[in-house]
Amino acid sequence: MNLIAEQVSVMLDGKEILDHVDLQAKPGTFVGLIGPNGSGKSTLLKSIYRVRKPDAGLVTVDGEDIYQLSPRQTAQRMAVVRQEGTVEFDFTVREIVLMGRSAHKRLFQSDTEEDFSLVERALARTGMQAFAERSFLSLSGGEKQRVLIARALVQEAKLLVLDEPTNHLDIRYQLQIMDLLKSLRLTVLVALHDLNIAATYCDRIYVIQEGRIAAAGTPEQVLNPEMLREVFGVETEVYVHPKTGKKHIVFFSGMEMSEQRKDAEVSTAL
C-alpha cells in the first residue's frame, strides 16, 4: 500500500501546527516519524488516519483520497494504534482483539472460525494469549498496548499507522513488538521517540520540527550529531555499531557536557 501525504497543513486554535508536510510510505517499507514533543507527529498521524482533516493538502492510499472513503473502507486499508488507545467499556482481551475483525463484516454478521483463529494467532504473536479472558481495563499500560497491536493485526490492513507503539513497553517487549511489526512486511508508518529504535528498524525516517519536515532519508542519511543538536537540542556521538551495522546514538547528559567544558577551559588556561 502506497501512502502519500502531500502538502498537508493543519491549523489548531489559529496556530499552524503542520506547515505543508510531504511524506511517503512506499509499499512494504517501514517509515519512522521522529521529532521533539509538540512538533506535530500525532497531528500528522491523525490527518493520515482520518481524525483531523487537513486544512490544506491531500492524503492518499494507493491513489485514493482517504477523506473520500467510508470509515469501513478506510479500516480495510489502514489499521491504527493510537497513543491514547482508550477503551471506555470493560471487555475481555479476546473481545477487544476480535473487534479488529469488524472492518470486514456487515452489521450483525456473526464471527467465523477464521475470525477466532486470527484472534488466537494475534494474541500469541503479541505474547497476550494467557491474558485472553482478562478484563482489558485491568491490564497494565504495556499489556494494553500489546492488545491494541493484536487488534490492529487481525484487521489485516496493508497499512499500519502507529503512534508511539512501544511507549509503555519494557525493553524486551519493545524489541519483540518492533521485530513483529517489521516481520509483517506491511507498509508501516510509526511515530517513535526512541531514536536508537528508529535507527534499528526504519527504512526511512522523517524528522519533524515545529510542523515542518526538517530532514528525510535513510537512518544513515538523517541521524547525525548536527541534526540531533539542531532539532532535539542534544549533544550526541553517532557511530555505526560493529555488530548490527546500524547507526547507534550515544546521548550526553548536561552534566557530562559541563564537565567537558570545564576540562576544555582548564586546558586552554594552561
Ligand X SMILES: Nc1ncnc2c1ncn2[C@@H]1O[C@H](COP(=O)(O)OP(=O)(O)OP(=O)(O)O)[C@@H](O)[C@H]1O
42 touches ligand X by CB under 6 A: yes
C-alpha dist (Å) from residue 192 to 71, 100, 166: 26, 23, 8
Contact 234, 62 (CB under 8 A): no
Q: Which stretch binds ligand X (CB under 6 A): 32-40, 136-144, 236-244, 249-257?
A: 32-40
51 touches ligand X by CB under 6 A: no
Q: Which of 13, 84, 113, 133 binds ligand X (CB under 6 A)?
A: 13
Interatomic CA distance for residues 173 and 159, integer angstroms: 22
40 touches ligand X by CB under 6 A: yes
β-strands 56-61, 64-65 pairing: antiparallel
Q: Which of 37, 68, 86, 267 binds ligand X (CB under 6 A)?
A: 37
Sheet strands (E) in 72-112 = 78-81
35 touches ligand X by CB under 6 A: yes
Q: Which of 5, 25, 30, 43 binds ligand X (CB under 6 A)?
A: 43
Round to the nearest angstrom and report the end-to-end CA distance of the chain: 62
47 touches ligand X by CB under 6 A: no
68 touches ligand X by CB under 6 A: no
166 touches ligand X by CB under 6 A: no
38 touches ligand X by CB under 6 A: yes
Q: Where are the alpha helices (DSSP H) in 38-158?
A: 41-48, 71-77, 93-98, 113-125, 141-154
Instruction: Find the shortest distance in angstroms from Cβ 143 to ligand X.
Output: 21
C-alpha cell at 227: 541534526
Instruction: Find the shortest distance in angstroms from Cβ 40 to ligand X.
Output: 4
Q: Please give the residue ranges that form the binding site for ligand X (CB under 6 A).
A: 12-13, 17, 35, 37-43
